[in-house]
Amino acid sequence: MPQKLAEEVHSFWTFDGRTYAKKTQDSAKAMVKNIEELTTYCRRTPSPKPSNFISNFIPLQSYLRNSSYAYQDICVKRRKYLEFGASELIRFEVFIPNFKLLICAVYRQPGNGTDFWNSFDYSIEQALNFTKNVLITDDLNVDLLTECNHRRNEIIQYNMTNIIEEPTRFGPLLDPILISNDNISIDIEVIQVDRAISDHDATLVHLKIPFLNKKSYTRNVWLYKHAEFISLNGDIDNYDWEVLLSERFTHKYL
């Protein structure tokens, strides 16, 4: 990427192994083919002044792709066949015994119209055919706080509930969390983010997952520190120890 173009970049990100950039906030994205020159530009001395471009780039120096992250103790698997078209979406299943959970992250560019929504509707249908427990976290670039919002009505018809009820980008609610089973959501929060990093706030939900811990076997555990030592000492004092010292005992056992 020529340095002149890099200086004009407003922000950029990666998706599915490809890096994209925008010259302005509202411009169409363009694919970046030379990430090395872009990296060199950011690391030059003196370094550029902080901007949306630099802020958006910093996390990508480590990851260089748009990904979802899970704790190493949680088993997940990406379900590519439930992802539609070339839209920026990822779905993965979380493996929990006797509980199938499908999580989706999706981004809709402001210019995406009917084709996106048709594909989005279809993807919800397919997800609900896969499991009744579906969670979608997204940036739809549609204000769901607007009362006369047909997109919100479409979401409701699929029995999906938006559990975020406050703005996520200044006034509008652009980043809902949609869930098919709201009984498993126990805590929801909108977290303010440094505006040098993003102009959207973060959303957080805690889920209550039914988990049955099956016993593989049982065993007796002797808790010696809880023994009844008073009774034990009494039995020892009252025992007829002469039996052990008798000739019959010696002849039989020794």
The per-residue pLDDT for 134 is 92
- Using alpha carbons, list the distances in angstroms from residue 216 to 82, 101, 211, 213, 242: 35, 25, 15, 9, 47
What would the pLDDT profile of 206-233 be if each residue is shown by its tens digit?
A: 888 776 666 667 788 888 888 888 888 8
- Using alpha carbons, list the distances in angstroms from residue 8 to 25, 56, 229, 254: 11, 14, 82, 99
Q: Which two tokens stand for residue 74?
A: 């949680």
| pLDDT tens for the 254 residues of the chain, in order | 334 444 455 555 554 445 556 655 566 656 655 555 555 555 554 444 433 333 333 333 332 333 445 555 567 788 888 887 656 778 888 887 778 889 888 888 877 778 888 888 888 888 899 999 999 888 888 888 876 667 777 777 778 888 888 888 888 888 888 899 888 888 888 888 787 777 888 888 888 877 666 666 778 888 888 888 888 888 888 887 777 666 665 666 55
| Cα Rg of the chain (Å, integer) | 31
Residue listed under structure tokens 């652009």: 174
DSSP single-letter state for residue 183: G
All domains of the chain in start order, with CATH: 3-63 (no CATH), 76-207 (3.60.10.10), 224-253 (no CATH)
Let me know if 96 is exposed, middle or buried by CB neighbors in 10 A (0-12, 13-18, 19+). Answer: middle
What would the pLDDT profile of 2-25 be if each residue is shown by its tens digit?
A: 344 444 555 555 544 455 566 555
The per-residue pLDDT for 61 is 31
The per-residue pLDDT for 53 is 38
Listed in sequence order, the residues at least 6 apart from 32 whose beta carbon sits closer than 8 Å to its beta carbon are 1, 12, 19, 20, 21, 38
The per-residue pLDDT for 35 is 55
For the entire predicted model, the pTM comes to 0.55
